[in-house]
Amino acid sequence: MKRARHFLFLSLAWSSFWACQNDAPPVSSESPGMTRETPSPVSTRVEPRQPKASPGNFENLIADYESKDRVIWQKPDMVISLLGDLEGKTVADLGAGSGYFAFRMLPKAQKVIGVDIDPRFIAFMDSVKVRLSKQYQDRFESRLAKPDDPMLKPGEADAVVMVNTYGYIENRVNYLKTLSKGMSDHADLLIIDFKKNSLPVGPEDEFKVAVSQVERELKSAGFEIQKIDNEALDYQYIVMAAKSETNK
């Protein structure tokens, strides 16, 4: 029975990158991600569940990360498109979890590093990696990080993605300063997290950070804000930032 459940949840992760394979259907030029998005009807809202890295039931965490509904409210194709052309670039996905975004970025980037502090997610991403074709195996690396250090080499990342992760980081200004050292001079930082509103969905309030606070913390850590978008996603805000000239 345990073996059956193991393969069930591997199949959930497999759906995140199946378009990498040779028999994948073409992807719309307007949607540069690995899977097609199903447009959400105007009158329908899909209520997301926010998984957390915790000692709880790991299979439930994977099910939450790989929920079929997530493509509707998370809009991964649109999110990845915000990073622009990733050809020849190394992308770090911080708080990668099951690799939901990491594996979707593989066809576009030279290398993707799936970073997480939970060894269970590292093992899970590695179990997915071995089922990829050789060309994508060579592009992907999982990396176990520390709560206060993403463990990036100096100037290693040309783009950093942090989705549904920012509110779980302690001492965020110090963390961002450490992160900055692992980013190249022209790297982009993309942060997406839940709005600090009275929403009926999302994480507990203690794990929500107001976008205004994100902006202040980024500036304190030596980043420049490039874009803030509160409208593109129903439940979340989008913040794009880059290292300031004095921080390069």
Q: Is residue 61 part of a domain?
A: yes
Q: Which domain holds residue 96?
A: 2-19+48-247
Please report the pLDDT score of residue 196 as a whole number: 83
Residue 171's closest CA among 224, 220, 104?
A: 220
The tally of domains found in the chain comes to 1
Q: What is the pLDDT of residues 103-142, one digit of tens each?
A: 999 999 999 999 999 999 999 999 999 999 999 999 999 9
Q: What is the CATH number of the domain that holds 141?
A: 3.40.50.150
Cα distances (angstroms) measured from residue 242 to each of 116, 168, 219, 248:
22, 21, 10, 10
Q: Are strands 236-243 and 223-229 parallel, antiparallel or unpaired?
A: antiparallel
pLDDT exceeds cutoff 60 at 202: no
Q: Is residue 60 part of a domain?
A: yes
Q: Is residue 205 part of a domain?
A: yes
What's the whole-model pTM score? 0.78
